Structure 1
Amino acid sequence: MNIIMSYLNTMFSAYPQTPRLLEAKAELHGMMEDAYTSLIAEGRSENEAVGQVISDFGNLAEVAPELGITSELGIAAGSPAAAAPTVAPAAGAPAGGAAAAGIPAAARPTQPADPPVTIAEASGYADAHERTRYRTAIAIALFVISPAKLIWLTSAASEGVIPLASGPATLIGVFALLLLVAVGVMLLISSARELTPFNRLESGRFTPTAEVTAWSRELAQRHERSRIRALQIAVLLWILSPAPLLTAALLNDSPTKGTWVASGVVALLLVVAIGLLVLLPTAWAHTVAEKLDRRGPAPQAEDDDPHSIVGVIASFYWPLLTAIYLGWSFIGDAWGQSWVLWPIGAVLFGAIAAGGGAWESYRRARR
């Protein structure tokens, strides 16, 4: 598979591409593919199988005698150190390490305080994200729709659409809001518990390795098409989500207009939540790759960049929302209902900002 091939390319990149080494590379690839197939047949997940295969065959010095390429590795390296495990240098470091650069041993940098991340650890981390992706997405969607029942019941009760007084209707709506929030929090706690063994990866307390970097990039690339497709659908939904609210507010003159507007707000929240449910479960591999592939200092925050997608949207979004609020309030004399635009607008902008940020991350990764 592609992840195994990418790892092999990294492992052999330090040596000349002689016919014998190319033959050994193909032989090792076959051995790794056979081991991967056996692990999958045993019921291992894809990430677990890849991690185990790379752990078993990932040290070129250990498998060199079996492949009969010990002398080739010694000639390529030019010293007995060829028997040491092959690890690609970090980005920007001199080829061959401190010794090859002529740096005295006393002046060489000390070992990093954080231990390197292993393939097995990285694959377990990816599996945990994949297992919890739907729980996290559902929790966030529940937070978005949690005020929906409160908004609708309050408005419907005040206009006599339902046989409830405003007090009981508000109480029922508050209980529904708290229940949805509680369920969402429980789902997030459950997800966090599964990620607890990988706290050091979540917080960045590790030293990246060439093997894990290649593996994580390949993992993200394999799932990138579905993530971009989901992002396109989600952004489309978020852009169209105000349509029910605007229709109810501007084209409805019935005595129960407030209830229709509240229904439009509920529809907006539902569409935003659906967009999140479409996008978030597909972003797990991209999240894992961003955590494991640390290639430099953190980029400038998207909101601080005036040329970012989020910055461009923000430049006209809030003025437009203000104009809608004032127009609805003055023309429709709806000061008692128009305030709902602000919390809904904030939720919608948060969703758009998340989509814009995901797109910016994708664009940077493609550079």
Structure 2
Amino acid sequence: MILADKIIDERKKNGWSQEDLAEQLGVSRQSVSKWESAGSVPDLKKVIQMAELFGVSTDYLLKDDMERENRSTVETSGRDADSLLRRVSMEEANAFLDAKRETAPRLANSVSLFTLSPVALLLLAGIAESPNYNLAEGPAMAVGLAVLLLLTAVGVFIQITDRNKLSRFEYLEREPFETEYGVSGMVKEKKRDYESRYSLGLAGGTVICIVAVIPLLVAGAMDASALVWFLCTSLLLVLVALGINLIVRVSTIKESYDTVLQEGNYSKNKKRVQAKMGALSAAYWCLTTAIYLGWSTWTQDWEESRIIWMVAGVLYGGVYGIMRMMLKVDGD
């Protein structure tokens, strides 16, 4: 129920005409008529006056999805609860949205670095396996692991640095809060304006992750050499990194709106999911690398062990989505 409907409902419950309500508020009947037809919105002072007259809370009048509370409930529990909750101003909300918009590309890039970290190891392993190149397996593995650890370290550094920049807004993600008058409306408008871009980025990233499997299918159809398999697997990771980058980039900005509105994954009883997913990506590929190195060392069959990367690359998109769902459920 919107504000206009609530004014009509409460006025009729009290048996007042538009003229009666207008007289008590010190406004014209035409003003009340415009409010009830949603032709205009009363200012905050008049909203407070109506809340007093109707015996309801201002939150009830201003929040479309809020149920009616009686006056005693508002005065005893509502006011006490409001006094305990931190209130977010327009300036704080805009500062948070700006900070999230600024850090979104860096967060997306850090997740891409986690995904790309094994690529050098794969390429060097493929070159070492090829008889056309004189590259020993030991040095190739050492360099590949060094690159993997370096890219992972850079990704972790980016996330920690950005997390520190956002630390002053942590209460938005961890604690219930109230927003000052006008904040929710402003954020909802920005969220509506961003919906089309979010949908395009999400769809594009998902399509790229699906298409990423094609290089492996082509290699399988060609009965390709070990080097080609490693190259195709590396290309798969590059495409997955690009797809995940798009998804994380647009999702971070959209979720900043949800955080302020306390909707979706950022309701009062939920935690932020995205930061955990970066750590998941790093753990996933580090574990894959450990399995690959352990299995290959044990069997001394480095060529056949490449199937580990094929399976890990194909499963990554599904694992990523499943873990996001699980983390969302955990936050309920």
Same fold (TM over 0.5): yes
Q: State the distance in 1 between where 2:164 and 2:246 align.
A: 24
Q: Does 1:271 align with 2:239?
A: yes
**Contact map agreement 1:59 1:85 (CA 8 A) in 2:** no
Take 1:240 and 1:248, find their aligned partners in 2: how far apart are those partners? 14
Distance in 2 (alpha carbons) for counterparts of 1:172 and 1:339 = 20
Displacement of 1:158 after TM fit?
2.1
Displacement of 1:208 in angstroms is 5.2
Q: For 1:42-81, list aligned pairs within 5 A.
A: 60-61=44-45, 79=53
Paired residue type of 1:110: D
TM-score, normalised with respect to structure 2:
0.67
Give the CA deviation at 1:219: 1.8
Asked if structure 2 preserves the Cα contact closer than 8 Å seen for 1:246 and 1:264, the reply is: no
Q: In structure 2, what is the equivalent of residue 48 of structure 1?
A: none
Q: Distance in 2 between matches of 1:198 and 1:346?
A: 35
**Structure-to-structure mapping, 1:1-367, within 5 angstroms:** 19-20=30-31, 22=34, 60-61=44-45, 79=53, 88=62, 91-94=65-68, 97-99=69-71, 103=73, 110-112=80-82, 113-207=84-178, 211-253=182-224, 257-294=225-262, 335-351=304-320
Question: How far apart, CA to CA, are the structure 2 residues paired with 1:236 and 1:59?
Answer: 47
- 1:90 deviation in Å? 7.6
Contact 2:114–2:152 under 8 Å retained in 1: yes
Alpha-carbon offset, residue 212 of structure 1: 3.2
SS in 2 for 1:116: strand
2:81 alignment partner, SS class: coil
Q: Indicate the percent of aligned positions where both proteins have the same amino acid.
A: 20
Deviation at 1:289, TM superposition (A): 2.4
Residue type of the partner of 1:261?
W
In structure 1, give the amino acid aligned to 2:166. L
TM-score normalized by the length of structure 1: 0.61
Task: Note the C-alpha offset of 1:232.
Answer: 1.5
Q: SS of the counterpart of 1:207?
A: strand
The 2-side partners of 1:107 and 1:336 are apart by: 64
**1:193-224: CA deviations, max 9, x gaps?**
22111010021342356743333322221111
Relative to 1, partners in 2 of residues 1:155 and 1:80: Cα closer, same or farther, differing over 3 Å? closer
Q: CA RMSD of the aligned region, Å?
A: 4.0
1:277 to 1:225, Cα distance in 2 relative to 1, 3 A: same
Is the 1:122–1:212 contact (alpha carbons within 8 Å) kept by the matching residues of 2? yes
- 8 Å CA contact retained: 1:60, 1:86: no
Q: How far off is 1:276 after superposition?
A: 1.9
Q: Secondary structure at the match of 2:186?
A: helix
Whole-angstrom distance in 1 between the partners of 2:78 and 2:247: 46
Change (3 A) 1:165 1:119: same
How far apart, in 1, do the equivalents of 2:89 and 2:197 lie? Answer: 27
Measured in 2, the distance between the counterparts of 1:210 and 1:118 equals 8
Letter in 2 for 1:204: E
- Note the C-alpha offset of 1:59: 6.6
Partner Cα separation in structure 2 for residue 279 and residue 91 of structure 1: 30
Equivalent residues, number: 270
Give, in angstroms, the shift of residue 12 of structure 1. 7.5
1:80 and 1:104 mapped to 2: Cα distance? 12
What's the CA shift for 1:251? 1.0
Q: Structure 2: how far apart are the matches of 1:339 and 1:104?
A: 61
CA deviation profile, 1:255-297 (whole Å, cap 9, x unmatched): xx11100001000000111112223222233201222223568
CA contact (8 A) 2:119 2:234 kept: yes
Deviation, structure 1 residue 131: 0.5
Per-residue Cα deviation, 1:132-158 (whole angstroms, up to 9, x for no partner): 011000000010010011011012112
Shift of 1:109: 7.0
Which residue type is aligned with residue 208 of structure 2? L
Mapped to 2, the partners of 1:258 and 1:272 lie a distance apart of 21
Q: Structure 2: which amino acid aligns with 1:157?
A: A
User: Distance between the aligned counterparts of 1:204 and 1:81, measured in 2?
Assistant: 29
The change in CA–CA distance for 1:60 and 1:114 in structure 2 (over 3 A counts) is closer
